[in-house]
Amino acid sequence: HDAWALRAGRFIQPRDPNGLALDFQIFNHYGDQLELEHAHTLAGQPGKLRALVFRNVAPMSRFSDAIALGAATSSAPNLNLVRGGDRVKYGLGLNLEQALSDDLGFFARASWADGKTETYAFTEVDRSLSAGFLLQGTRWGRAEDTLGIAWVGNQISKGRRTYLEDGGISFFIGDGALNARAENVIETFYNYQLFKALSVGLDYQHIRNPAYNGDRGPINVGSVRLHLEF
């Protein structure tokens, strides 16, 4: 309606945490999302602001249950031993996209999840803040090319942190201890169009405190991406 849009959806999820097989019991296990969008013009340039809330229902383990069982048995907490029964995960997100000129754009995103249950699909993060710029190559005669740079800061919830500090291991992180720190990523890329249907992207990431551990990293990651459209 005019500059506003409202979207809602219910989605199926993996049958098991981070699994590939899907659970088609959409009335028992599901992910609900509600998004409100507003388009605007700022200083003559278009932009959009979106707010999203979500609620997932699935057989997820709670960090508090795993921690309590570990303490009672004098062992490291284990999510696999307390999985059972449907749990609820909820959270929200904000997204801003804003053109600053005909060839320069800015984005910023913030998200929050309650962080009481294990990761279900897929990234282990409970708080995230990111921002960046995209510049088209018009200024150097490469209008179809794109140069991008961004910063991302990720954190985990108190429950997830305690679980890892006590020696727990989750899907992607955990090595028996945790010197908890926020994970910070700086990323830059250049997307070069070779032909109308083919482009190649060169990407570099510098990651500090990978997996939220101050005793790890920093690490540097380079990658090459090919994109073909037909």
Give the HSE-up count for residue 15: Cα atoms under 13 Å, Cβ half-sphere.
Answer: 5
Distances (CA, A) of 212 to 59, 68, 150, 157, 218: 26, 23, 19, 11, 11
CA 33 to chain centre: 15
Which phi and psi angles does 210 have, rounded to 5°? -60, 140
pLDDT at 98: 98
* Token pair recorded at residue 66: 């795993």
87: CB partners within 8 A, 6+ apart: 57, 58, 59, 60, 61, 62, 116, 117
Residue carrying the six token digits 């449907």: 86
43: CB partners within 8 A, 6+ apart: none
Helix 158-165 with 63-73: angle, nearest 10 deg: 30
Please report, in tens digits, the pLDDT of each residue of the chain (230 residues total). 999 999 999 999 999 888 899 999 999 999 999 999 999 999 999 999 999 999 999 999 999 999 999 999 999 999 999 998 899 999 999 999 999 999 999 999 999 999 999 998 888 999 999 999 999 999 999 999 999 999 999 999 999 999 999 999 998 898 888 999 999 999 999 999 999 899 999 999 999 999 999 999 999 999 999 999 88
Which phi and psi angles does 4 have, rounded to 5°? -105, 150
Which phi and psi angles does 79 have, rounded to 5°? -65, -30
Q: Are 224 and 202 in contact (CB under 8 A)?
A: yes
Distances (CA, A) of 69 to 85, 124, 216, 217: 16, 22, 28, 32
Distance CA 99, CA 102 (A): 7
Distance CA 58, CA 26 (A): 10
160: CB partners within 8 A, 6+ apart: 63, 115, 124, 126, 170
Tens of pLDDT, residues 204-218:
999 999 999 999 999
Distances (CA, A) of 217 to 16, 126, 163, 166, 213: 31, 21, 21, 21, 8
* Token pair recorded at residue 224: 């090459």
Distance CA 173, CA 225 (A): 26
**DSSP reduced 3-state for 162:** helix
